[in-house]
Amino acid sequence: MNLYTCEQRIRFVLSLLFELLMFFICFLNEKCFYLHVKPRKKFMMKKSIVLVFVALMLGVLYAPLNAQVKFGVKGGVNIASVHFSDDVIDPNNVTGYHIGPMIEAMIPVTGLGIDVAVLYSQKGLEFEDESMKTDYIDVPVNLKWKTGVSVAKLYVAAGPYLSFRAGGDKKWDLIESQIEAKSFGAGVNLGAGVELLNHLQVGVNYGIGLTDNYSVNKVGLGDLNDGKNRTWSITAAILF
């Protein structure tokens, strides 16, 4: 006799992944928050993002047993740039991509749910016909709402994301300064789109970095400026 349903097995696997992810986040938090002295405001912002992230992940794990759970693959195009706190440079957009697995858990009738993805994502900036591209592992956790019929539904989504630098350009030397990519970041996502035939989602997403993703060092003067990622994404997902 099978004592466990498919959804219970899925939640068990997710709980294990969740524990591993939280361990990794705690490690990065200690590294990024304590070994590098940050203003209290930035520290509290990062802490708040992580707490919201944890709360939404718990929502996925302990969603009602009748939640409709789907797995899928998501991918698309990024149009990214960087917003600097001072006008040191005026960067242009750079084109990249994102791809990775996702899971969606929706509560029937209400139209509310949560989706989680692990995305390999390329972002960066362009200046004077040269570009700096940085590769990240992004983990967005979005609260999602859908409305419509089974053939076509509209959806909106919003939530936090964590970002871990995985490769690409680490440093970029300019004439009198150097731009350096940081190892950890966090921000919020805002998105909307359409779902067709319950299996294909196409949408647009805007990612707003809330922590510093880049630092600008002036020659002989040290770190003078910080930059945050700003990313438009056109994305498509297939759910099973």
Are 137 and 119 spatial neighbours (Cβ–Cβ below 8 Å)? yes
CA-nearest of 170, 162, 168, 172 to 135 is 168
pTM tops 0.85, yes or no: no
6-29 and 40-61 helices, crossing angle to 10°? 170
Domains of the chain: 68-239 (2.40.160.20)
Give the integer Cα–Cα distance in Å for 125 and 132: 5
Write out the H or E segment, with its range, that includes residue 11: helix 6-29
pLDDT at 110: 85
Model confidence at 169: pLDDT above 70: yes
Condensed to tens digits (0 to 9), the pLDDT of residues 146-162 reads 999 989 999 999 999 99
Condensed to tens digits (0 to 9), the pLDDT of residues 35-88 reads 344 445 555 555 555 555 565 555 555 555 567 889 999 999 999 999 887 766
The residue with greater pLDDT, 25 or 208, is 208
pLDDT at 4: 45
Alpha-carbon distances of 84 from 75, 98, 213, rounded to whole Å: 27, 23, 10
Model confidence at 20: pLDDT above 80: no
DSSP letters, 18-78, are HHHHHHHHHHHHIIIIISS---HHHHHHHHHHHHHHHHHHHHHHTS-TT-EEEEEEEEEEE
Model confidence at 167: pLDDT above 80: yes
Model confidence at 194: pLDDT above 70: yes
Give the integer Cα–Cα distance in Å for 95 and 46: 27
pLDDT at 178: 81
Give the integer Cα–Cα distance in Å for 198 and 90: 42
The contacts of residue 86 (CB under 8 Å, 6+ apart) are 224, 225
Residue given tokens 């139209």 in the structure block? 111
